[in-house]
Amino acid sequence: MSLTLRQVPDPVLRAVCKPVDSFGPALRALADGMLAAMYDATGRGLAAPQVGVVKRLFVMDETWKDGAPSPQVFVNPVVTWADERREACEEGCLSIPDTPCLVTRPVAIRLAWQDLDGTAQEAAFDGFAARCIQHERDHLDGILCTDYSA
């Protein structure tokens, strides 16, 4: 599946995405296509609306740039806990070229999600993963990192 990256001001980036309710080969193909598009664009996270798909999933790979790929797919993600400690950090977005923006976010979160088989998962994240997950999850509600500095 070859997917095209959407960039601002494409209105699909402002859509509130719909829950994924069908798990199977088509969803797996979409996730694989999103990972390929993310690697092509040299990103570490990509949400479905960024390829024009209005569904609640995103992909992330924290480590591939260090030569050790670790692709992850998060379907129907929900932040179930957020650390009170917050930190400002510069973020980039593949849909907003050359526009780094400073965003203050919780330094750690817990996330509940489903994997590609529809199995429920939950885990804690901090560091880069926590920031990336919050950025990508925002995309599913049409929120862009530039909104925080607006």
Q: Which residues bind Ni ion (CB under 5 A)?
A: 93
Q: Which is nearer to Ni ion, 93 or 108 (CB)?
A: 93
Q: Alpha carbon 129 to chain centroid distance? A: 10
Question: How many whole angstroms separate alpha carbon 38 and alpha carbon 31?
Answer: 10
> Closest separation between CB of residue 57 and Ni ion, Å?
14
Among residues 62, 84, 90, 136, the one annotated as catalytic is 136
One-character DSSP codes across 87-122: EEEEEEETTEEEEEEEEEEESEEEEEEE-TT--EEE
Q: Which is nearer to Ni ion, 10 or 118 (CB)?
A: 10
Query: Could you give the 3-state DSSP secondary structure of residue 73?
Result: strand
14-34 burial: b if 16+ Cβ within 10 Å, else e: ebebeebeeeeeebeebbbbb
122 classed as catalytic: no
> Closest separation between CB of residue 120 and Ni ion, Å?
25
> Closest separation between CB of residue 24 and Ni ion, Å?
27
Q: Which is nearer to Ni ion, 93 or 109 (CB)?
A: 93
Q: Which is nearer to Ni ion, 93 or 133 (CB)?
A: 93
One-character DSSP codes across 6-21: P-TT-GGGGPPPBPP-
> Closest separation between CB of residue 145 and Ni ion, Å?
6
Catalytic residues: 136
